Amino acid sequence: MIDTHSHLYLDKFDEDREEVNRRAVEAGVQGIFLPAIDFESIPKMEKLEYPGLTFYKMAGIHPCDVPEKLPEDLEYKLMEYCSRDDFYGVGETGLDYHWSTERVEQQKESLRIHCKVAKTLGKPIIIHNRESTDDMLELVEDEQDGRLTGIWHCFNGTVEEGKRAVDMGLHLGIGGVVTFKNGGVDKTVAQLPLDKMILETDAPYLSPTPKRGKRNEPAFMRYTAQKLADIFEISLEEIDAKTTETARQLFGI
């Protein structure tokens, strides 16, 4: 299995990161993609290593970390990092109107810059979306010129929104929310194409049932994979194989 979205470099794992990595390997995880929150995330990512695990770095600015005035060198720095052979995607970027709507225009401009870099380099973009779906989809549609690929991270939209995202070239990141009893995401996912889905954790956030409320970690992705297997009425092994192959193709690994 490949965890396409984990913040394993955060300090929430400092005390037992070795054990977390060991449990990931034991659960069948072989690769972990590391989206950045900001540029300070990158030195922390570069320290990660563990036998049996491959870590894949990405660079970006999370929408909640977008400053009041965007750095003039944002595009340059993104291009500098993301053009490296050891960086596999652009992000995490996106829109988040949950905590504040004071910097909506800055978030949109940042997302457009991330899209430009992703298109130029031919690498996937990782899109965070919270209470901003209409604006996010509209902006991505506007930026799509046939070159943009990426992931709607932590997908929790409607069937129509999911189809629209897939039609415009995005994959759907399926994480712990699909296991939540009253979330309704499982019913939506059942009506969308499995070949456009990849697995993720968003560790340390959004732990799946039965670990909900605890710190999330890559090993818990097994519960999300099992939920997908139940939804599509196929084996866990098939889900692992399909989502892993989709992730490999998307990221070119």
> Which domains are delineated in the chain?
2-251 (3.20.20.140)
pLDDT attached to residue 212 = 95
Q: Sheet containing 31-34: which strands, arranged edge to edge?
A: 2-3, 31-34, 54-59, 87-96, 125-130, 150-152, 170-174, 197-199
Quick one: what percent of the chain has pLDDT higher than 70? 100
Chain centre to alpha carbon of residue 85: 19
**More confident position, 180 or 99:** 180
Whether 100 has a pLDDT exceeding 90, the answer reads: no
Question: Could you tell me which residues come within 8 angstroms of residue 191 by beta carbon, excluding any fewer than 6 positions away?
Answer: 159, 162
144 within 8 A of 165, measured Cβ to Cβ: no
Average of pLDDT values for 75-97?
A: 98
Give me the percent of the chain exceeding a pLDDT of 90.
98
For residue 164, give the 3-state DSSP assignment. helix
Residue 223 has pLDDT above 90, yes or no: yes
DSSP label of 207: P
What global pTM score does this model have? 0.97
**CA 62 remoteness from chain centre:** 11
Compute the distance between CA of residue 191 and CA of residue 56 in angstroms, rounded to an integer: 30
pLDDT averaged over the chain?
97
* Region 156-161 average pLDDT: 97
Mean pLDDT, rounded, for 11-34: 98
Per the CB < 8 A criterion, the answer to whether 95 and 132 are in contact is yes
Segment 93-104 shows an average pLDDT of: 94
User: 98, 164 in Cβ contact below 8 A?
Assistant: no
CA distance 222 to 23: 11
